[in-house]
Amino acid sequence: MMFVCFIALIVLKSTPAFSSSTGHASSSSNPVGPEQINHAHLMEIDYSQLYLNKKDSDVILVVENTRFYAHRNVLASRSVYFRALLCGGHKEAGQKEVPIKERSATSVKVLLQYIYTGRINLSTLESKVVVDLLILSNVFGFTNLQFSLCEYLWSKIDVSNVSTLFAVALYYQIKEFEVKLFNFINIHALDVLESKDSLSLTPKALLLILKHNTAYTNELDIFRVVCQWIKKKKNELDPEAKTKILCAVRYQLMNDEELSEVKRSDLVRSNRNILDVIQLRLDSLPQEYSDRGRLEPNVNFAVGTPNKLSQIDGGTMIMLGHPSNINYIEMELSNKQAIYYTYYIEVSMDGQDWLRVLDHSNYHCRSIQRLWINRIFVRYIRIIGTNNTSNKTFNFLKVMYNTDKLHLVEIKNGLVGKENTFLFLEYYKKYDICLMR
């Protein structure tokens, strides 16, 4: 029995220990915590007495020259994959010994323990075994186990292991986990790319990061770490992959001094295509190569420093501490003497050129305003009152990229037009926000 695991073999060679935690809250129904997986209550029959029982075994799984005695009926009852393999038309159905290639004996033994007992103690396992279990749970169709392993790994996420996990989630299409990891990478892009674990990234995974607008960091720094990554992976990359990766850097965001350093680089000087790309970017500045903006889900930029709030002619303006992607503004119409408020909202990157993203000039508005807009990259936000009966001041309560029920809403002029469950699927198909068109 053989399945495609090439990427897993690469990333598991250098998988670091999961020694730190982000403190993310767990949503698991597992009552004993993420380190102690206990799904025994989901099993119709307790098979624990048969675990590695040689006497009653009718099939042997052979892994790395290690033989595990098992039972076809048990494996088939717990996994659709094993049911098809051992009880269907495959040659393994008639074999006493079934080889499992490109997997570790340790991880297969732990998986068998889960199959027979519904339990695993993750705290006793090395990190590479846990990652291997994640792959096995995906390949063999153990959905509940996969979910619990993703929760456990997420609780240990940091810049030293996120690349390995992202490469695995991307390759095995573990979509929800993939999206969470991708968002983490974008927030910590430079630290992730500078880490040793970044060598676990495939060219495809690295390109996804580089092409996204939310890997917010200095572009010259991105170019430097990309060059380091290419040099360390030079024996694994073909010329086309190197060119694609170097072309994904946004050279038009660099100043003359930074571009001078780029053009002196050995990787650029020796590649005429890269030099042509740089010149094309400088000449055209196409929309798909816009500025990068930080994507920090559910972080409220309206509170704390270094934001600057100021009253302007006809309204209120906030300058964010750094350019950011937002899709939600919540504000309070604080002047109780006003019968109603009308207003519009504009955004800008430089405080000079403004784009109107919402216009409620013809709406009578009161109290708290909860406003959705299509995701946009901004530094300045201003609210301008129109036709108001008195003081035109506005209180920013929230400015953020809001993911709460985002996948269920359709936006029409700052209002939730209708629920749209299809958007949920779109959110997990893309790394961009589902409402972005």
CATH number at residue 160: 3.30.710.10
Whole-prediction pTM value? 0.66
Q: Which of 230, 262, 289 is the last residue of a domain?
A: 289
Q: Are residues 161 and 277 in the same domain?
A: no
Q: Are 26 and 97 within one domain?
A: yes
Domain hosting 128: range is: 6-176
Region of residue 9 (phi > 0: left; psi between -120 and 50: alpha; otherwise: beta): alpha
pLDDT surpassing 70 at residue 411:
no
CA distance 102 to 93: 20
| Predicted confidence (pLDDT) per residue in 46-59, tens digit | 899 999 999 889 99
What's the rounded Cα separation, in Å, for the pair 11 and 7? 6
Residue with tokens 């409220």: 300
Q: Which token pair is 417?
A: 């037009």
Same domain, 13 and 150: yes
Rounded CA-CA distance 419/411 in Å is 9
Q: What is the CATH number of the domain that holds 411?
A: 2.60.120.260
**Is it the case that residue 435 has pLDDT exceeding 70?**
no
SS3 state of residue 412: strand
The mean predicted confidence, pLDDT, of the chain is 80
Let me know whether 19 and 161 are in one domain.
yes
- Residue ending a domain, among 126, 148, 176, is 176
Eight-state DSSP code of residue 220 = H
Asked if the model's pLDDT at residue 420 lies above 60, the reply is: no
Reported as type and span, the H/E element at residue 312 is strand 308-312
User: In the Cβ-directed half-sphere of 303, how many Cα atoms lie within 13 Å?
Assistant: 7
Q: What is the pLDDT of residue 219?
A: 86
- Confirm whether 281 is domain-assigned: yes
Q: Is residue 274 classed as helix, strand or coil in its secondary structure?
A: helix
Write the pLDDT tens digit of every residue in 261-303.
999 999 998 888 888 888 877 776 544 445 566 667 788 988 8
Whether 30 and 160 map to the same domain: the answer is yes
Averaged pLDDT, 408-414: 57
Q: Could you tell me if residue 296 is inside a domain?
A: no
Say yes or no: 126 and 264 in one domain.
no
Question: Is residue 315 located within the same domain as residue 373?
Answer: yes
Question: Torsions phi, psi of 99, nearest 5?
Answer: -75, 140
Asked if 20 contacts 156 with a C-beta cutoff of 8 angstroms, the reply is yes
Total structural domains within the chain: 3
DSSP letter at 434 equals: T
In terms of domains, do 369 and 406 share one?
yes
User: What confidence score (pLDDT) does residue 1 get?
Assistant: 44
Is residue 362 one of the residues assigned to a domain?
Answer: yes
